[in-house]
Chains A and B, each alone.
Chain A
């Protein structure tokens, strides 16, 4: 019984990580209808950026990520402005194939620079610290921080989207690109800002990816799939739905792993397919569109 309760708790905590993966993807789709096949590799790339900064500057990963955030914002802005804006239009193929190409470039670029060795972000005692809840159940501090960060990121994204001028511009551009231009909105700049913001969220996700487990250049695509599954399970168009989707996925994987460790990933995928069959619009679809 305790073991199952533990599985539930760990599953919810793992869901926090997947919600962080998914929030970036959801943001990019929400603003510019971009389905980014390189998203998983971008998470891994960001983890290597944190690793690199932490090693070079002798910083704790939690500090290194603060140094990384402005850098990745500019990188995301530039990527969208220079490359991805050219792919947007009625045709689905260019954005898909360009981001697929990007995914291959990032993965192999990282292999070339950092080799296929497993890496980990080191942050001292906090990595192994845990809070005992009694009855043999304990909550790891890092997994707890992951979930709290996911909630904080979603609250912040909602504030930006629904309480600021730039958020209004994001939603207006997403609603009607042509009329948005009539409001003096430079949609290319708006998209680039959204991508920069997406990179910031991605980098926060990368911090916890690297603190919780080992990573290497090849694990990106699986992270893309988890992010995608969380978005679809939660229902398109809502950041809170994304959190719910992440938690459903985290629970499915953790419970699957309790039955047989080899079933962890498979259980997550199957949960996604089941939701897709039963509720194609996700568990918490937005009323409109």
Chain B
């Protein structure tokens, strides 16, 4: 029995610069995994490598045991892995609704997530459906970005820093949607700088330090000291 998503000795390079030095991670169906670590630890790079924006060896990334590490980003979405990119990156010349609709452009997979379900999850978006996205608040933009990724009915949702730059009350609103997403059977990989938030929702935690795995475990098994050391180094 394979895990749903697995990385084996995943490495990533930006030109000559090596950002990841062989990361092993598994994600089972229905699980939520959080990846924490300081700035520049390679967390975003890790998600980009899974999503196909950075190319690597085919068998570094496996989905249901099938190597997908060398597939293009547009292929990987079709296979059921969707990324909510860092900084939201909505399409500015598309309205809110168009941003959501474009989410299933490449893959009309039947599943729980439709436009109506996304509006039910984030009701404010329905009110602003015809607005241009640059006119939205940061929190609303983040909701669109998550909704846009959900529209492809992914089996794995990769979320990159969805709380970045938002006020705590807004963050709470966005995280309130997470149980519903999990309830539909979607597995989640969460990159998060906010450790407390990450510990609350994750089944397991991976900590990165300078492109290497420094700690992994269940949140309740880890002590503050362990995390502190894994986060900042000895």
- A-side interface residues toward B, CB under 8 Å? 165, 168-169, 171-172, 174-176, 178-187, 288
Contacts and interface: CB of A to CB of B under 8 A. Distances in A.
Given A184-B77, A185-B74, A179 B91 contact: yes
Given A179-B89, A182-B77, A185-B74, A165 B53 contact: no
Given A168-B105, A175-B91, A186-B72, 4 more contacts: A171-B91, A181-B73, A184-B78, A288-B93
A181 B134 CA distance: 21
A183 B102 contact: yes
B92 interface: yes
A182 B98 contact: no
Interface of B: 51-53, 72-74, 77-78, 82-83, 85, 89, 91-94, 98, 101-107, 134, 148-149, 152
A168 to B, nearest CB: 5
A180 B73 CA distance: 9
Contacts of A183: 74, 77, 102-103, 105-106, 148, 152
B72 A181 contact: yes
Contacts of B149: 182
A183 B107 CA distance: 8
20 contacts: A171-B93, A171-B98, A172-B94, A172-B105, A175-B91, A176-B91, A180-B91, A181-B72, A181-B74, A181-B77, A182-B53, A182-B83, A182-B149, A183-B74, A183-B77, A183-B148, A184-B107, A185-B102, A186-B72, A288-B134
Contacts of A180: 91, 102
Contacts of B72: 181, 186
Which residue among B51, B73, B149 has the maximum number of chain A CB atoms within 10 Å of its CB?
B73
B93 A175 contact: yes
Contacts, number: 76
B110 to A, nearest CB: 15
A246 to B, nearest CB: 23
Contacts of A168: 94, 98, 101-102, 105
A100 to B, nearest CB: 30
- Identify whether the interface residues of A are mostly helix, strand, loop, or mixed: helix
A186 B101 CA distance: 16
B132 to A, nearest CB: 9
Contact of A182 (B73, B101, B134): B73
Contacts of B101: 165, 168
A165 to B, nearest CB: 6
B152 A184 contact: yes
A207 to B, nearest CB: 31
Contact of B53 (A169, A172, A181, A184): A181
A172 B102 CA distance: 8
A168 B148 CA distance: 13
Nearest to B53: A178
A93 B98 CA distance: 34
B198 to A, nearest CB: 23
A184 B72 CA distance: 9
A288 B82 CA distance: 29
A186 B74 contact: yes
Contacts of B73: 178, 181-182
Contacts of A179: 85, 89, 91
A52 to B, nearest CB: 38
Nearest to A187: B74
Given A171-B93, A182-B82, A184-B74, A165 B51 contact: no
A180 B72 CA distance: 12
Contacts of B77: 181-184
A172 B91 CA distance: 6
A195 B92 CA distance: 23
Contacts of B152: 183-184
A185 B106 contact: yes
